[in-house]
Amino acid sequence: MHDVTATGGMTRRKLLRMIGMTAGSAAMYQAMTSLGLAAESNFTGMPALGAAPKGATVLILGAGIAGMVAAYELRKAGYAVQVLEYNARAGGRNWTLRGGDSYTELGGETQHCAFDPGLYINPGPWRLPYHHRGILGYCKQLGVALEPFIQINYNSWLHSHRAFGGKPQRYRTVRADYHGHVGELLAKATSTGKLDTEVTREDQQKLLASLQWWGALDKDYRYRKSAEASDRRGFDREPGGGLSARPEFSKPLELGELLDSRLWQTLPLGDLYDMQQSLMQPVGGMGKIGEAFARELGSLIRYQSKVVEIHQDESGVRVNYEDTAAPGSRHEARADWCVCTIPLSILGQIPINVGQPMADAIAALPYASSVKIGLQFKRRFWEEDDRIFGGISYTDLPISTISYPSSGFHGNGKGVLLGAYVWGTEAMRFTAMTPAQRVAAALAQGEQIHPQYPAEFDNGVAVAWHRSPFTLGCFGLWTEALRAQHYDNLCRFDGRIVLAGEHASYLPAWQEGAVLSAHDAIDRLHRRATSKGAMA
């Protein structure tokens, strides 16, 4: 960890102020960037390991993002690399289900995806935040084309089956009315002197002016049926053209019913650091990243290879695996080093001779439960009827999320929604169902938001991550207490073995966590390999 508070005895802030005051903005920017402040990140760019020791070999377990990043970079440095992958495809949770794909879950149910050409869902990750520079950097290097992912849509629905008689509300009305009421209440407290101990008189005036504009308050600092409020929440009758085109204003929800509805709960989601705009997605599905890595790595990846034992000694690492195309078969791979990216939910069931600290860490981490359901409909009724172009509707029903495609607007063919993104206890209930039952449940619940569902439904697929044979769950569920006890032990080298993956990061569930943990792991691997056995 580099020091973020001091630079050669001078605080960074003082240094910056000095540079800013004695030179132009370009110098200021250069200084900020080189000190890592403008960049706000510990990301130090793509790895540049230098040359591998002659003949050094690395065995990588798992061709997900972490494993393939490690393979890609280690090969570049000159290591002889082999990757063992359980599935018949690369990517792991980086995965796009398209028409023609099949998927068999634990329990033996096989689904055949029947989406039309070009339509898909991403059962795993589906968003790329602008600050995830590792995974974005590989998109650029590998030529994976990106497009905007729309998280927030002011015209999407917020739904509670307990509020407003079950009638969904537009995001824009809930947002405008929450801001409006908050603004009005704070303006009233300010103008009646109730903030006198908190805020100077001068700042009170500035605060009032800001609240008026921010909250769409009228000249008396009230939030009410008005041009200002309607220009946020929408009109009862929109402004038009020609004669009889005058708009009619809309009436805000009352504070009490708004608070009761709890629909305000989703308002901050687009403010969260990982879900702030701009978000991006690969054109054609998140799986394009894994597919690009797989093309790049070619025969380095051995598919359908199920690891059954990992053994290390002073001379190297030996991994035994089964070729799943020939059940019962046994093969062996050997290398100087091993980067193991197998999810801990699975790794915990594989014999591996690591010390107690790492073994305890592997055993300690529970995995989150999640279910995603893709629904194909005969037409894009959400655009045609509801004018929803991308974005997400939220509900307090178990499906929680209905996400609309961020591309292909105005398409005349069929369309695919993410019809459910189920979490926690509800996800375990969905996991216990058959795939067909899950789809039926998503349809029954989604109909409360989109009554067009029954008439327009075509087909669906449902991925329950706890029934995924290659992860047995969605992602590692760290708590602060678990991190304090196990995280460093999980990440530290154990002899010739190092772990990587989202579970070995502070970015759980994100591909960026997989990338950065791989970078950190191979950096330490390389330092060990080149220091002739010294424990770096």
Question: Which residues are CB-neighbours of 57 under 8 A, at least 6 positions away?
Answer: 79, 80, 81, 82, 316, 334, 335, 336, 337
Packing angle, helices 287-297 and 65-77, rounded to 10: 30
- Let me know if 303 is exposed, middle or buried by CB neighbors in 10 A (0-12, 13-18, 19+): middle
Q: Is 361 near a copy of itself (CB under 8 A)? A: no
> CB burial class (10 A; 0-12, 13-18, 19+) of residue 169?
buried
Q: Confirm or reject binding of residue 520 to a copy of itself (CB under 8 A).
A: yes
Q: Which segment (99-107, 232-240, 318-326, 345-353) binds a copy of itself by CB under 8 A?
A: 232-240
State yes or no: residue 237 binds a copy of itself (CB under 8 A).
yes
Which two structure tokens, joined as six digits, stand for 209? 């002016």
Q: Which of 236, 295, 437, 535 binds a copy of itself (CB under 8 A)?
A: 236
The CA distances from residue 120 to 370, 393, 406, in Å, are: 18, 19, 12
Considering beta carbons, is residue 429 or 492 the nearer one to a copy of itself? 492
Quick count: other Cβ atoms within 10 Å of Cβ 249?
18
Specify the amino acid at residue 488. Answer: D
d(CA 383, CA 6): 53
Q: How far apart are CA 18 and CA 485, in angstroms?
A: 42
**CB 392: neighbour CB atoms within 10 A?**
24
C-beta separation of 375 from 457 below 8 A: yes
DSSP one-letter string for 345-381: HHHTTS-B---HHHHHHHHH--B--EEEEEEEESS-H
Residue 256 contacts a copy of itself per CB under 8 A: yes
* 525 scored as a contact of a copy of itself (CB under 8 A): no
Interface with a copy of itself in residues 263-292 (CB under 8 A): 264-265, 267-268, 271-274, 276-278, 280
Nearer to a copy of itself, 15 or 433 (CB): 15
Interface residues for a copy of itself in 171-230 (CB under 8 A)?
A: 172, 175-176, 178-179, 182-183, 185-186, 188-189, 194-195, 198-200, 203, 206-207, 210-211, 213-214, 216, 230
- Rounded distance between C-alpha atoms, residue 161 and residue 416, angstroms: 24
Q: In the complex, what is the shortest distance from the CB of residue 364 to a copy of itself, in angstroms, rounded to a whole number?
A: 17
Provide the 10 A C-beta neighbour count for residue 218: 16
Please identify which residue in 59, 416, 521, 529 interacts with a copy of itself, judged by CB under 8 A.
521
Query: Quick check: 448 binds a copy of itself (CB under 8 A)?
Result: yes
Strands 279-282 and 128-129: antiparallel
Q: Is 166 in the site for a copy of itself (CB under 8 A)?
A: yes
Instruction: Indicate the residue among 40 and 314 with the shorter CB distance to a copy of itself.
Output: 40
Residue list 365-394, contact with a copy of itself (CB under 8 A): 385, 387-391
Which H/E stretch holds residue 120? strand 120-121
Nearest to a copy of itself of 162, 194 (CB atom): 194
Is 72 one of the binding residues for a copy of itself (CB under 8 A)?
no
Amino acid type, 123 = P
Distance, in Å, from the CA atom of 169 to the CA atom of 157, rounded to the nearest integer, reads 5
Interface residues for a copy of itself in 31-60 (CB under 8 A)? 33, 37, 40-43
Stretch that binds a copy of itself, among 53-61, 331-339, 428-436, 451-459 (CB under 8 A): 451-459
Span interacting with a copy of itself, options 80-88, 118-126, 459-467, 505-513, rule CB under 8 A: 505-513
Considering only the stretches 106-114, 127-135, 318-326, 435-443, report the one whose residues sit in contact with a copy of itself under the rule CB under 8 A: 127-135
Residues of this chain, 408-447, that bind a copy of itself according to CB under 8 A: 409-410, 447
Q: Which of 19, 28, 46, 80 binds a copy of itself (CB under 8 A)?
A: 28
Give 275's DSSP letter.
Answer: T
Q: Considering CB under 8 A, how many residues would be counted as binding a copy of itself?
A: 128
Binding of a copy of itself by 231 (CB under 8 A):
yes
By CB under 8 A, is residue 150 in contact with a copy of itself? Answer: yes
User: Based on CB atoms, which residue is closest to a copy of itself, 190 or 369?
Assistant: 190
Q: Output the smallest distance, CB 20 to a copy of itself, in A.
A: 6
Please state, in angstroms and rounded to a whole number, the distance separating the CA atoms of residues 133 and 45.
8
Q: Segment contacting a copy of itself (CB under 8 A): 94-102, 253-261, 394-402, 422-430?
A: 253-261
| Closer Cβ to a copy of itself, 97 or 516, answer by number | 516
Ramachandran angles phi, psi of 353, nearest 5°: -95, 80
| Torsion sign, CA atoms 212, 213, 216, 219 | positive
Among 57-65, 138-146, 323-331, 418-426, the segment contacting a copy of itself (CB under 8 A): 138-146
282 vs 435, which CB is nearer to a copy of itself?
282
Q: Does 19 bind a copy of itself (CB under 8 A)?
A: no
Measured from the CB atom, the residue of 265 and 329 that comes closer to a copy of itself is 265
What part of residues 458-477 is at the interface with a copy of itself (CB under 8 A)? Answer: none
Report how far residue 53's alpha carbon sits from residue 524's, in angstroms, rounded to the nearest whole number: 14
| Member of 100, 107, 117, 148 binding a copy of itself (CB under 8 A) | 148
